[in-house]
Structure 1
Amino acid sequence: MKSGAEDKKKVAIAGTLGAVAVICLGYIIWDNFLSSPATTAAPPAAPVIRDLTPNGGTAANTGRKGGGATGGSTAKKVGTTAAQLDPTLHMEAMKVAESLEYSGSGRNIFSMTSAPPPMANIPKPIAPPRPITQPVNVVPVGPPPPPPINLRFFGVATRSNGQRQAFLLQGDDVFLAGSGDVVARRYKVVTVNATSAVVMDMTNNNQQTLPLVTQ
């Protein structure tokens, strides 16, 4: 009787363990292969969006609950999709941006009426970089003057008929010539006066008056 009760107890324990094993196996198969995914992938973190607040400050919105910017107003939470974004223009924020005044030291490139900064005073040079020259009046140059007659008139002789003759000197040669005479095959005596003689150079038809030389 005792051995029969022990066998029944073992059979009951084995049956219980087998039932638990079957239940666990069935749950694993159902969870991994038969059932739809219970959870979906976590959405990506929301981008940081900055919004201009009415008091001129900015606050960051990370998409999380709580934890606003310290010392400023709480950022307004906006959507991350095109359907959730609000296209309404916020005139208060635009007026704040327009009321800002340029305080730099240079020219305001956003203003058409802004004048450029004054130029620095550049010292003037002591001397001009180039000497200032007066314009030269250019005189038209004509043909060169004829050469002087190479004769010296140093005396007068009067013939018996009253005709004067001139004593002419060329180098070491002395000539006595009256009106119409040719000296050294080049010079023709035109007239002879008491204090001067007119002689013509026949090579260029140039007449010159030779004064009487006393020394």
Structure 2
Amino acid sequence: MTQRFQLYLLLVLVTVLAGVTLYNWNRSPELVAVFGGDEKFEPLSVENPFLRLDKLERIRKLEYNGSRRSIFTAQLPPPPHPVVAKNDTPAAQLPEPPLTLPVKFFGYATDPNSGRKRAFFTNGEDVFILSEGETLQNRFRLLRIGNTSADFEEMQSGKRATLPLEQPGA
């Protein structure tokens, strides 16, 4: 680029800048009407526009009586001490509910070699095969297998229950 060409280019750019500036200078601003305030503005009707210092003082004197826990730490506060209600009259003992087993007894078989009985229990899709003295789900001990029932004992509480033999649904 020659120096003469650069000078012509500079003059053209200055002329364009001057033209754009003059064009925008003489135009009336259109955005003023868009950003102008609402002509239907009505201020709120306040009976007494002064500050109520008495209410502010009352709020300033309020104290928070909460748990005093810092919300900026992840450490939990100590649990509150349990309140024990003292009752002088003895509470009526409710009878304990009967032991319910989560399985159904649907059959038994006798081993021809040893003569031991094995019982078959189901819980939905799961099938359990137990001999006398074995435990079911680490909670119930099979005490006796009869022809029409099976006797269980809950190992933790010592409660006993009898499961009758159930016929398969037709």
TM-score class, shorter-chain normalisation, is 0.3 to 0.5
Flag the structure with larger Rg: 1
Q: TM-score, normalised by structure 2?
A: 0.41
Structure showing greater relative contact order (alpha-carbon pairs closer than 8 Å, 6 or more residues apart): 2
Q: TM-score, normalised by structure 1?
A: 0.33
